[in-house]
């Protein structure tokens, strides 16, 4: 489809108003300018995209990469050597912002030596007005700044920067638009993220996401299925459905459909062997979804179910809309229907007003559920969120102490959970060559645990039966038993 698009675009004298045709027009335009630049340099121009934050950002970076390759850039892993550096930023916690400023200072020094270098910033952090003010004032060397809502306009913004030669800033407050059929470049040939929805409507009181990612918008199921069918015909065997709150997928569509129904339809796509999704909000997880998961041969036995806190009092202040008891009851229903499910979670320590008793409630849930793994975070005050102005912010030393106690508990429990599968034979998707030992491959079980086993790179992307010989805390060493 996209080649046809370019063909028609070239014959058009005026800029197309509709998307994605408009972006293909600007890709052609940017390509011509870059071709000249590359001829002058006597070599291909290179780019490097650095992604901060979550899987949604990782997927957005694949879209940026798809456009960059289309306009003639070649990927360069070393940021310091690239002609075009893009930071796709995250702002969920304050330290993520600090990291970006630190690295940006470093880039500024490199750009002084190489004035032709281009620098772009995009992603969640750019949706904060204070950030853009600071960049305008103190980081004049940044060439292009855009946000989360207009990422699909990357080609147009790049063309504007190439044409004008001056800083381009374009940030939108919100959008209703979902633009389909732009190019993307997958990081892995055999697995891919698939956005099913954008934004979040939950307004958990600590979280900046609803302000920077906007209101909840679901993609049409037909567009999702079309994308997955195309991925399958391209050799993809695993899809990860992405959304801030996948359990409320489809509720606002003109013809509403449930997330469970979407999964039923995806299950029918031949070639797709594994279906994953994240993130699930406990308040919206339906019995229908549990049933679909229990009956499915393709949906992985893994649920990421953020707890945030085990104290009902704190959960209320967080605006999570479930209680300790209802969360535990939900886990009970899930475990009853799918006994081999792996459960993972996110927990925040030190939310304003959290007492020792509240913290012990969290520890209690951690023990009762027995998470296979948990991401633990120290509460980070995000300006503009309701929690930022709540009284009784917890002192740093108290938070650190709680955090360390929680981390130890979580690690002990997950090591015990991991050991449960030792000695069994499981199906593993071979994903990469092992980072430390090139005679080993690293693969993943359906429940998301990692296994290292002897193999060669030609096996990547295939499924194998692997004997999990030895558990090493949070991963296994194993050997292939036979091809599946």
Chain contacts with ligand 5AD (rule: CB under 6 A): 92-93, 206-207, 306, 308, 346, 348, 377, 379-380, 382
Q: What are phi and psi of 275, to 5 degrees?
A: -120, 125
Q: Based on CB atoms, which residue is closest to ligand 5AD, 5 or 204?
A: 204
Q: Which stretch binds ligand SF4 (CB under 6 A): 24-32, 162-170, 178-186, 197-205?
A: 197-205
Instruction: Count other C-beta atoms under 10 Å from residue 44's C-beta.
Output: 12
Minimum Å gap between C-beta 194 and ligand 5AD is: 19
Shortest reach from residue 94's CB to ligand SF4, in Å: 15
Q: Are 221 and 250 contacting, i.e. CB atoms less than 8 angstroms apart?
A: yes
344 binds ligand SF4 (CB under 6 A): no
Q: Return the structure tokens found at 445.
A: 């079980």
For ligand SF4, which is the closer residue by CB, 131 or 246? 246
Residue showing tokens 């969360």: 327
- Collect contacts of 129-132 with beta carbons under 8 A, ≥24 apart: 130/383, 131/91, 131/97, 132/169, 132/171
Quote the tokens at residue 70: 């289309």
Residue whose tokens read 């300790």: 324
Percent of the chain as helix, strand, coil, to the nearest 5: 40, 20, 35
Residue 391 CB, nearest distance to ligand 5AD (Å)? 17
Please identify which residue in 45, 158, 162, 204 interacts with ligand SF4, judged by CB under 6 A: 204
135 interacts with ligand SF4 by CB under 6 A? no
* C-beta separation of 248 from 281 below 8 A: yes
Interacting partner of 377 out of ligand SF4, ligand 5AD, none (Cβ under 5 to 8 A depending on kind):
ligand 5AD
- Choose the contact partner of 241 out of ligand SF4, ligand 5AD, none; CB within 5 to 8 A by kind: none
Using CB distances below 5 to 8 A depending on partner kind, what does residue 93 bind out of ligand SF4, ligand 5AD, none? ligand 5AD
Three-state SS for 44-59 is CCEEEEEECCCHHHHH
Partner from ligand 5AD, ligand SF4, none binding residue 100, C-beta < 5-8 Å depending on class: none
Least CB distance to ligand SF4 at residue 400 (A): 22
Closest approach of Cβ 378 to ligand 5AD, in Å?
6
Taking the least distance from each CB to ligand SF4, the nearer of 247 and 447 is: 247
Question: Out of ligand SF4, ligand 5AD, none, which partner does residue 244 contact, by CB within 5 to 8 A per kind?
Answer: ligand SF4
Out of 37, 105, 130, 203, the only residue in the binding site for ligand SF4 (CB under 6 A) is 203
Torsion of CA 461, 224, 302, 405, to 10 degrees: 100
Query: β-strands 450-454, 440-445: how paired?
Result: antiparallel
Task: Classify the C-alpha dihedral 22-24-26-29 as positive or negative.
Answer: negative
Q: Which is nearer to ligand 5AD, 195 or 308 (CB)?
A: 308
The site partner of 348 among ligand SF4, ligand 5AD, none (C-beta below 5 to 8 Å per kind) is ligand 5AD
Q: Distance between alpha carbon 27 and the CA centroid of its chain, in Å?
A: 25
Is 386 near ligand SF4 (CB under 6 A)?
no
In angstroms, how far is the first alpha carbon of the chain from the final one? 35
On whether the CB atoms of residues 92 and 53 are closer than 8 A, the answer is yes
Verify binding: residue 202, ligand SF4, rule CB under 6 A: yes
Rounded CA-CA distance 61/49 in Å is 7
The listed partner (ligand SF4, ligand 5AD, none) that binds 200, CB under 5 to 8 Å by sort, is ligand SF4
DSSP code of 19? T
Distances (CA, A) of 451 to 276, 455, 469: 18, 12, 10
Question: How far apart are CB 207 and ligand SF4 at their closest, in Å?
Answer: 3
Whether the CB-CB separation of 232 and 194 falls below 8 Å is answered with no
In the range 278-337, which residues lie near ligand SF4 by CB under 6 A? 281
Q: Of 61-69, 188-196, 200-208, 294-302, which segment contacts ligand SF4 by CB under 6 A?
A: 200-208
Q: Are strands 475-483 and 450-454 parallel, antiparallel or unpaired?
A: parallel
CB of 3 to ligand SF4, least distance (A): 37
Residues 6+ apart with CB under 8 A from 92: 53, 54, 124, 207, 208, 209, 380, 382
From residue 230 to residue 259, the character string flagging contacts with ligand SF4 as x (rule: CB under 6 A) and all else as - is --------------xx--------------
Please give the backbone phi and psi of residue 163, each rounded to the nearest 5 degrees, phi first.
Answer: -75, -45
Q: Shortest gap between Cβ of 387 and ligand 5AD (angstroms)? A: 7
210 binds ligand SF4 (CB under 6 A): yes
CB of 281 to ligand SF4, least distance (A): 5
Q: Least Å distance between CB 242 and ligand SF4?
A: 12
Residue of minimal Cβ distance to ligand 5AD: 346
379, interface contact from ligand 5AD, ligand SF4, none, CB < 5-8 Å by kind: ligand 5AD
Bridge partner list, 374: 345
Residues with Cβ within 8 Å of 253's Cβ and at least 6 positions away in sequence, in order, are 218, 220, 221
Q: Which chain residues interact with ligand SF4 by CB under 6 A?
A: 200, 202-204, 207, 209-210, 244-245, 281
């Amino acid at each position: 489809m996209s080649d046809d698009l370019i063909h028609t675009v070239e014959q058009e004298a005026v800029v197309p108003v509709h998307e994605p045709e408009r972006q293909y027009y600007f890709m052609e335009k940017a390509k011509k300018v870059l071709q000249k630049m590359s001829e002058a340099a006597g070599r291909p121009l290179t780019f490097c995209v650095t992604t901060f934050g979550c899987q949604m950002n990782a997927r957005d970076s694949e879209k940026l990469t798809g456009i960059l390759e289309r306009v003639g850039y070649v990927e360069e892993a070393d940021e310091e050597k690239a002609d075009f550096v893009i930071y796709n930023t995250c702002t969920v916690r304050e330290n993520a912002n600090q990291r970006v400023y630190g690295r940006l200072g470093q880039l500024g020094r490199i750009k002084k030596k190489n004035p032709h270098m281009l620098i772009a910033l995009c992603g969640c952090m750019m949706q904060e007005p204070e950030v853009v003010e600071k960049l305008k004032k103190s980081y004049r060397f940044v060439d292009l700044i855009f946000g989360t809502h207009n990422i699909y306009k990357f080609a147009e913004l790049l063309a504007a920067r190439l044409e004008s030669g001056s800083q381009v800033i374009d940030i939108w407050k919100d959008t209703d638009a979902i633009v389909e059929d732009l190019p993307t470049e997958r990081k892995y040939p055999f697995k891919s993220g698939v956005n099913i929805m954008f934004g979040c409507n939950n307004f958990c009181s600590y979280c900046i996401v609803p302000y920077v990612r906007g209101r909840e918008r679901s993609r049409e199921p037909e567009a999702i299925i079309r994308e997955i069918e195309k991925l399958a015909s391209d050799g993809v065997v695993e899809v990860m459905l992405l959304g801030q709150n996948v359990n409320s997928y489809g509720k606002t569509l003109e013809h509403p459909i449930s997330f469970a129904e979407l999964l039923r339809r995806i299950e029918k796509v031949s070639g797709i062997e594994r279906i994953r999704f994240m993130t699930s909000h406990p308040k919206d997880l339906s019995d229908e979804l549990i049933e679909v998961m229990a009956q499915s041969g393709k949906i992985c036995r893994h649920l990421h179910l953020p707890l945030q806190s085990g104290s009902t009092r704190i959960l209320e202040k967080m605006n999570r809309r479930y209680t300790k008891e209802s969360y535990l009851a939900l886990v009970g229903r899930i475990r009853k229907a799918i006994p081999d499910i792996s459960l993972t979670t996110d927990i925040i320590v030190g939310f304003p007003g959290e007492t020792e008793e509240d913290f012990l409630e969290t520890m209690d849930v951690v023990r009762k559920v027995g998470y296979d793994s948990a991401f633990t975070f120290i509460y980070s005050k995000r300006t503009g969120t309701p929690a930022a102005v709540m009284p009784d912010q917890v002192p740093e030393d108290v938070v650190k102490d709680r955090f360390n106690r929680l981390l130890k508990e979580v690690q002990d429990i997950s090591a015990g959970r991991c050991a449960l599968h030792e000695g069994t034979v499981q199906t593993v998707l071979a994903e990469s060559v092992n980072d430390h030992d090139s005679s080993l491959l690293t693969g993943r079980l359906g429940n998301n645990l990692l296994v290292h086993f002897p193999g060669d790179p030609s096996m990547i992307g295939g499924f194998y039966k692997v004997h999990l010989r030895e558990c090493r805390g949070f991963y296994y060493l194993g050997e292939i038993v036979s091809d599946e």
